[in-house]
Amino acid sequence: MPALLELICPAGSLPALKAAVDNGADGVYLGLKDNTNARNFSGLNFDAKSLAEGIRYAHGKKVKVLMALNTYPQPATLARWHQAVDTAATSGIDAIILADPGLMAYARKNHPNLRLHLSVQGSATSYEAVNFYRERFGIQRAVLPRVLSLPQVENVVKHTDVEIELFGFGGLCVMVEGRCLLSSYACGDSPNTFGACSPGHAVRWQQTPKGMETRLNGVLIDRYADNEKAGYPTLCKGRFDVQGETYYALEEPTSLNSMEMLPEMARLGIAAIKIEGRQRSPAYVAQVTQVWRAAIDAVKKDQAAFKPNPAWMAQLNKVSEGSMHTLGAYYRPWK
């Protein structure tokens, strides 16, 4: 039977992995402790020992482990990405999530039985692009960027054999993933090559007479009055001045929450729902996994009657960035 609405949860650490597994994830995704994945933050991710333990724990409870190798390898350090693919293949990882076609070719050639997923960082938004990776490298699943409306997603699903995975909840990239260089423009490190957006080393918080200021490599991303809660200076979620008006020019500090669209996603045959947040705590992962497990079970039981439980939504809002959520591009007027 084809996969339907598998719940794929973030594992930024071994405790987070266990929290996801214990609370009902069908799969977890993780990365190694370097720039081969797009959550290259200090204190996160897995080394050989925690990887082995994580895989043992997850497989013991019949939960899949996916490895994100979704940054773009570069000439001087290409061997690091190749080694990471080899590590995944020999350690029992269920699938690797890749963005770079060159790396897919390497994986395909050297580990033909290793299951390949196309990362959201691969920026594939059409079935022509998805089918390219299918034909060339035999990818089995693609994670779509958070830019398509649901009817547009449906059109992709209709024209490909590749399983489609969608983001369900968590931090919201307002830009097409893999096509955003705002971070490297401001501070030199981009998600594509360095594996992080608005990285911690470039961030400064400073209390000033005008309020709390957050900066990224010196660029003022936002300034908060005393009664406002200061947020992390992700640069697309700051307040800027355009023609004399100061506002969230690109996007508010908000999270994606597509739960109310679950019945529609089930109808389209979406293979998996991804929860963002490898940088979040195990407690967060536990809570979000639990709520989404309940929601997906409810949808699978009775699509027509499904309604997001207000208690679930309240729980999710509590942990959302800025305590707000949006349907993002799935809902056309957001665009």
Partner 1 sequence: MNAPSAPASQPANTEKSRLALKDTGPSGHKAGATRLSLGPLLYYWSREDTLAFYEAAATWPVDSIYLGETVCSRRRLLRLPDWLELAEKLTAAGKEVVLSTQTLIESESDLKALRKQVADGRFLVEANEWGAVRLLAEQGAPFVAGPTLNAYNPDTLALLGELGAKRWVPSVEMPREMLAAMAVPEGMETELFAYGRLPLAFSARCFTARHYNLQKDDCQFRCLDHPDGLTMRTRESEDFLTINGIQTQSAKVMSLAHRLDELRAAGVDILRLSPQSTRMGRVVEVFRALLNGDIAAAAAPEKLDKLMPGQPCDGYWLGEAGMAYRPT
Binding site for partner 1 (CB under 8 A): 72-76, 78, 99-103, 105-106, 122-129, 131-133, 135, 146-149, 152, 155, 174-176, 178-182, 184-188, 190, 192-193, 217, 219-223, 236, 239-243, 245-246, 249-251, 329, 332-335
Taking the least distance from each CB to partner 1, the nearer of 227 and 243 is 243
Helix, strand or coil for residue 117?
A: strand
Taking the least distance from each CB to partner 1, the nearer of 242 and 305 is 242
Query: In the complex, what is the shortest distance from the CB of residue 239 to partner 1, in angstroms, rounded to a whole number?
Result: 6
Taking the least distance from each CB to partner 1, the nearer of 187 and 296 is 187
Residues 278, 301: Cα–Cα separation, whole Å: 29
Query: In the complex, what is the shortest distance from the CB of residue 103 to partner 1, in angstroms, rounded to a whole number?
Result: 7
Q: For the chain, what is the radius of gyration of the CA atoms?
A: 19
Q: Within 2-145, where are the H helices?
A: 14-22, 48-60, 78-91, 101-110, 127-137
Q: Please give the structure tokens belonging to residue 208.
A: 């000033």
Query: In the complex, what is the shortest distance from the CB of residue 160 to partner 1, in angstroms, rounded to a whole number?
Result: 11
Among left, alpha and beta (phi > 0; psi -120 to 50; other), residue 310 is alpha
Q: What secondary structure letter does DSSP report for 46?
A: B
How do 163-171 and 255-257 pair as beta strands?
antiparallel
Query: In the complex, what is the shortest distance from the CB of residue 229 to partner 1, in angstroms, rounded to a whole number?
Result: 17
Taking the least distance from each CB to partner 1, the nearer of 99 and 291 is 99
Residues 267, 250: Cα–Cα separation, whole Å: 32
Taking the least distance from each CB to partner 1, the nearer of 18 and 223 is 223
Query: In the complex, what is the shortest distance from the CB of residue 119 to partner 1, in angstroms, rounded to a whole number?
Result: 11
Query: In the complex, what is the shortest distance from the CB of residue 205 to partner 1, in angstroms, rounded to a whole number?
Result: 15
Residues 272, 252: Cα–Cα separation, whole Å: 27
Residues 229, 223: Cα–Cα separation, whole Å: 10
CB-based contact 117:85 (threshold 8 Å): no
Taking the least distance from each CB to partner 1, the nearer of 149 and 281 is 149
Residues 308, 305: Cα–Cα separation, whole Å: 10
How do 219-224 and 211-216 pair as beta strands?
antiparallel
Query: In the complex, what is the shortest distance from the CB of residue 16 to partner 1, in angstroms, rounded to a whole number?
Result: 29
Residues 194, 201: Cα–Cα separation, whole Å: 12
Taking the least distance from each CB to partner 1, the nearer of 91 and 152 is 152
Residues 265, 153: Cα–Cα separation, whole Å: 9
Residues 228, 222: Cα–Cα separation, whole Å: 11
Taking the least distance from each CB to partner 1, the nearer of 185 and 205 is 185
Query: In the complex, what is the shortest distance from the CB of residue 28 to partner 1, in angstroms, rounded to a whole number?
Result: 27
Residues 2, 270: Cα–Cα separation, whole Å: 10
Nearest to 171 by CA among 333, 14, 326, 11: 326
Taking the least distance from each CB to partner 1, the nearer of 16 and 88 is 88
Query: In the complex, what is the shortest distance from the CB of residue 251 to partner 1, in angstroms, rounded to a whole number?
Result: 8
